[in-house]
Amino acid sequence: MLRYPNGKKFQPKRTFSKKNVVKKDERFSNRGMTLEGDINETNEYYRSHGIAVIHKKPTPLQIVNVHYPKRSAAVVTEAYFKKPSTTDYNGVYKGKYIDFEVKETKNKTNFPLKNFHDHQVTHMEQVIEHGGIAFTLLRFSFHDEVYFVFARDLLPYFKHTGTNRKSIPKIDIERMGTQIPIGFHPRIDYLKILDKMM
């Protein structure tokens, strides 16, 4: 076995014949980018351009055990959630409080209701009751489509007493929501859609 002077193993470069090369499917470019990453990038754009102040809410954790491999570094090895978090993001835009949840699915034709937790639904109801703006951003990753949907339009799907409803059909989301075009800066300009829908 050959090793470099630094001790690393020598790995010969692999060569591939043309028949082994797989052509990239354009539908799947940017699949690695998560919706949350896109929203964080968009929110940074909004803050840096003085458009809005919107932040991701931190998840409340109770740290139980910490490992110190070096004096200057600490690694949390055990923690648990103090309480259920509410929604993903909140902030202020044009003097209004906004609060929203970000979800994505690999499903092609529907959005599973199990992606939402009861405490998130309750929180969105309370935001609406107090005059805030509550909405969700839903991504269908297979189609690479993102929809802006007001929480007030989604809430009836969670009040499905007496039925076995487990999902929201994509066609319903297309009807009650608005598709957000994917851009460059900002990446997902959801506030532009909010302005149109208000």
Q: Measure the CA–CA gap between 125 and 152, rounded to whole angstroms.
A: 8
Instruction: Check whether 86 is labelled as a binding-site residue.
Output: yes
Report DSSP letters for 19-62, one per residue. Answer: GGPPPPPGGGTTTTS-HHHHHHHHHHHHHHTTS-EEEEPPP-EE
Please name the amino acid found at residue 8: K
Q: Measure the CA–CA gap between 11 and 35, rounded to whole angstroms.
A: 36
Instruction: Check whether 101 is labelled as a binding-site residue.
Output: yes
Helices (H), 49-163: 118-129, 151-158
Structural contact between residues 81 and 45, judged by C-beta atoms closer than 8 angstroms: no
- Residues at the binding site for Mg(2+) are 86, 88, 101, 120
- Residues at the binding site are 86, 88, 101, 120
